[in-house]
Amino acid sequence: MHASIAGGISRSLERSAQLKCNTVQIFTHSPRQWRKTGIRKTEVQRFSVLRQKNDINPVFVHASYLINLASHSPDIVRKSIDLLSYEMANADLIGAEYVVLHTGSASGKDGKAAREKAAMALRESIDSRQGNTTIILENTAGQRGDITSSIQALADIMDLCSCDRIAGICIDTCHAFASGYDITSVKGLNRLVNEISEYIGVDKLKLIHLNDSKKSLGSGVDRHEHIGRGSIGIDGFRNILSDRRITKVPIILETPKENDNDDRNNLETVFSLINKRMN
């Protein structure tokens, strides 16, 4: 699950372990602020100890929502490059394997040109620092200005950037559904996985964000819902979790957190579907 870092980054691993998770995604700072706060050395050490103790692998850091590498504003692009470098530095500091990135949006600009701009900025950010952490690019929901709502678009940025430190992609099920991939059906899921295979490679699918959608197919609206309670529905998730081409891919839930039981309830729903598949 995406775990809260309230009280310190290491607390995210405590919360994950309590719910029997074996992988985790976190922010390393507020995702809605440009301000860089730093991570205390004691928290880094405690994070490492708890990760080893609870065998949590891999660890994903989700980059700030403010990053927009395709922005019309040179100032925003410059700040985004700097903030992404900071995200990668934090991920390296805590030993995270991946940084999950939305490259940005550019309303009114040609999609290809916007992806070229984003790829140049992404490469600059990567080249600005050394480290082991790699980046995975996340698909988006098809809102106005989106430049990565299709698999071909994600592949385009990867090809334009041409960098080994872009490890692959993250597919968000809500985003895929909202952008027009009908993953409620086996046919629609096949279309998505086949496009990944053709344009990127299934081996480069490094993460699935498993979220239901409050809105309808092709709505272009990014609104996550509890598993099985949205437009994708239980049958859709049963199909996704049964597809043997992607059953080895780590799964993170980014479902709504309206009360303390929400993560547990969503995890139990997913575990039940997996157990039925295995039996």
Query: Quick one: DSSP state of residue 260?
Result: T
Percent of the chain clearing pLDDT 90 (strictly above): 92
Beta partners for residue 251, in sequence order:
208
Tell me how many domains the chain contains.
1
**Closest among 144, 195, 137 to 161, alpha carbons compared:** 137
The answer, yes or no, to whether residue 218 has pLDDT greater than 90, is yes
Supply angle C-alpha 105, 32, 20, rounded to 5. 105
Q: Is residue 219 part of a domain?
A: yes
Look up the domain containing 237 and give its range. Answer: 11-278
Q: In terms of C-beta density within 10 A (0-12 exposed, 13-18 middle, 19 or more buried), how is residue 260 classed?
A: exposed
Residue that is written with structure tokens 């992806």 in the block: 115
Cis peptide before 58 (omega within 30 of 0): yes
The answer, yes or no, to whether residue 107 has pLDDT greater than 90, is no
Query: Quick one: DSSP state of residue 139?
Result: P
The pLDDT, as a whole number, for residue 129 is 84
The answer, yes or no, to whether residue 109 has pLDDT greater than 80, is no
CATH code, domain with 204: 3.20.20.150
* Interatomic CA distance for residues 252 and 266, integer angstroms: 11
- Give pLDDT tens digits for 226-277: 999 999 999 999 999 999 999 999 999 999 999 989 999 999 999 999 988 7
Q: Is residue 204 part of a domain?
A: yes
pLDDT band at 135 (very low <50, low <70, confident <90, very high): very high
**Closest among 91, 172, 166, 184 to 138, alpha carbons compared:** 172
The pLDDT, as a whole number, for residue 79 is 97
Q: Is residue 103 part of a domain?
A: yes
The pLDDT, as a whole number, for residue 276 is 81
Q: Is residue 3 part of a domain?
A: no
List residues with catalytic annotation. Answer: 32, 62, 65, 102, 138, 172, 175, 209, 222, 224, 254
Q: Is residue 90 part of a domain?
A: yes
Q: Is residue 234 part of a domain?
A: yes
More confident residue, 204 or 277: 204
Supply angle C-alpha 76, 133, 74, rounded to 5. 10
Q: What's the pTM?
A: 0.96
Q: Is residue 43 part of a domain?
A: yes
Q: Is residue 117 part of a domain?
A: yes
Mean pLDDT across the chain: 95
**Closest among 220, 219, 223, 209 to 266, alpha carbons compared:** 209
